[in-house]
Amino acid sequence: MLEMSNLESYPPLFRHLSASPDELTTNNSMEDSSSSSSVPIPVVDLQCLSLEKLGEACKEWGVFRLVNHGIPPSLLSKLEEHVRMLFSLSFESKQALQTNPLSYFWGTPVLTPSGAALRGALNMNWLEGINVPLTQLPLFQTEDPRLEDFRHFLEEYGRHLSRIATTLFEAMVKNLNLCPKQSECSLDESTGFIRLYRYPSRSSVNKSLGMMEHTDSSLLSIVNQDQVGGLEIFKDNQWLLVNPISDTLLVHIGDMMQAISDDQYMSVKHRVRVNKQEERVSVCYFVFPEKGNVVHSSKYKPFTYTEFQQQVLNDTKTLGYKVGLQRFKLDAPV
């Protein structure tokens, strides 16, 4: 049973469902993530970057494990420690973080600001999170020394992720040998932001997913997950578990990269399963094309990321899910 102090840090709806007797006695749960074997996804070494291995990973998997990335292990451990500290604050304290530039959310934030899903509580994302736009992070002012330390860790981590994303993107563009128009769409470091996630444990894991299946809208997404696990990717018509390995990062190809690559690189569909016994935290970095850049592709109508983002928002509000790149296919209905 969850400790009351831990429960009180959760959004009120999560506390109710986590402690529900019906939840605790349900037997037809999804298999716990920890009992599944992990798939060996491709490994890319940033220190000795092989364009051939990078290209194969992007084409065949849409995701790869990054090693020798140059981020000090001490920074990664401090970051995780502070993420857990932040999420352990009371729900009301986290709501008070709804101030420039941070924003707190829970459930399915794209549907409503409060996170309450339109399709019912049992179908919402079973998570809470905090958005951190890196260029605005210096604006964050706090009198709490722990949060001040956390701000410095996030800034340092953001600089590393910007370096890694730029290096990988330049290598991908070189691999793809894009035409001049496609090459106009470039990665903009100033668009990078970090999203902190906490996935509470839940006894009846069949009732919801930590995060429902989706693709990322970014050029690249870089994930640093703790050792609890639960991330799954969809490949060859099946869901495959990707367990964490210490001191490695997971790099996902996003929708924007798929579009400019003419579908050579695939935006990987993924989801997160909740764990019965342990909560999970992850730190995710997303980076996008420069504002106003037009994505040119032989597969899609020309569009900007702003137009794509607005379409995703509209679809999620009206349909309850993201349609994504299919909306921009050359043969898509107007």
Say which CATH superfamily domain 34-292 falls into: B-lactam Antibiotic, Isopenicillin N Synthase; Chain (2.60.120.330)
The CA-based angle 168-174-176, given to 5 degrees, is 100
Euclidean distance between CA atoms 112 and 288, whole angstroms: 23
What is the enclosing helix (H) or strand (E) of 231?
Answer: strand 231-235
pLDDT reported for residue 20: 52
Mean pLDDT (the chain) is 86
Residue linked to tokens 């069949």 = 206
pLDDT at 122 over 70: no
**pLDDT 10s digits, 35-65:** 456 889 999 999 999 999 999 999 999 999 9
More confident position, 116 or 25: 116
**pLDDT 10s digits, 89-102:** 999 888 887 777 88
pLDDT at 326 over 80: yes
**pLDDT 10s digits, 191-247:** 999 999 999 988 765 556 899 899 999 999 999 999 998 999 999 999 999 999 999
Domain ranges of the chain: 34-292
Q: What are phi and psi of 322, to 5 degrees?
A: -85, 130
Euclidean distance between CA atoms 175 and 187, whole angstroms: 16
Inter-residue contact 223 to 252 (CB < 8 Å): yes
Residue linked to tokens 């128009």 = 181
Q: Which two tokens stand for residue 313?
A: 């928002």
Q: Which residues 6+ apart lie within 8 Å of 177 measured at CB?
A: none
Confidence of residue 119 (pLDDT cuts 50, 70, 90): very low
Q: How far is CA 277 from CA 29, 85, 110, in A?
A: 13, 19, 28
pLDDT at 24 over 70: no
Confidence of residue 73 (pLDDT cuts 50, 70, 90): very high
Q: How far is CA 213 from CA 218, 239, 269, in A?
A: 16, 10, 6
pLDDT reported for residue 253: 98
**pLDDT 10s digits, 275-305:** 888 899 999 999 999 888 999 999 999 999 9
Inter-residue contact 221 to 169 (CB < 8 Å): no
Q: Label residue 68 left, alpha or beta by phi (over 0 means left) and psi (-120 to 50 means alpha).
A: left
- Position 107: which residue type? G
Work out the end-to-end distance of the chain between its first and last CA atoms, rounded to an integer number of angstroms: 52
Inter-residue contact 256 to 286 (CB < 8 Å): no
2-6, 142-146, 289-293, range with greatest mean pLDDT: 289-293
Burial readout 223-250 (b: 16 or more C-beta within 10 A, e: otherwise): bbbbebbbbbbebeeeebbbbbeeebbb
Euclidean distance between CA atoms 286 and 308, whole angstroms: 15
pLDDT at 74 over 80: yes
More confident position, 4 or 241: 241
